[in-house]
Amino acid sequence: MLAVLSLRGSPTRRAALSATAASIVWALEATFIKSTSDTLTAFGVTGTAVRWPVYALITGGIVGTLLVQSALHVGPLGVSQPLMVAVDPFVSVILGIWLFGEHFNNEPANIAVGCVAFLLMAVGVVVLSRTSPPDLDLEPAVAAAERP
């Protein structure tokens, strides 16, 4: 749905939607990797080849790569990169709880540390994606290349 919505709109909107869709696909890829590994352990290589997880893994890898490339191509990196980095672990945690019955230690200190770490990661990604060294500024290089 997000990928379809990313086909229209401003470059910023398109990049944000593509990046979010890519992050969700990569989070799903983690579940497909786990399912494929479990299938491989239980049924061997031949048994894995006739079951769905390996094909979901391959398809997810292709779709995820296309969505990442779309997100990086259609809009600003400052929009797509933070979303790709922050949404993936968030969705992965939700999928781990929902699909695999994982759970967290309920101690308030552990939950607080996890929340603060996630917040610091998200802020760090946003700050890093909005800054670049001065020598990476392409404007002077483009202007110089256009001069006769």
Give me 78's structure tokens. Answer: 């400052």
pLDDT of residue 58: 97
Q: Determine whether 70 is exposed, middle or buried from the number of CB atoms within 10 Å of its CB (0-12, 13-18, 19+).
A: buried
In this prediction, residue 43 carries a pLDDT of: 96
**Segments making up each domain of the chain, as ranges:** 2-146
Site of tokens 């909005």: 130
Residue 54: burial class (beta carbons within 10 Å; 0-12, 13-18, 19+): middle
Which pLDDT score, from 0 to 100, does residue 101 have? 87
Q: Which pLDDT score is estimated for 1? A: 87
At what angle are helices 11-49 and 77-100 packed, to 10 degrees? 40
- The model carries a pTM of 0.77
pLDDT score, position 130: 75
Question: What residues contact 85, with CB distance under 8 A and at least 6 apart?
Answer: 121, 122, 125
Which stretches in the chain have pLDDT values below 70? 132-148
Q: What is the pLDDT of residues 3-18, one digit of tens each?
A: 888 889 999 999 999 9
Q: Return the pLDDT at 106.
A: 82
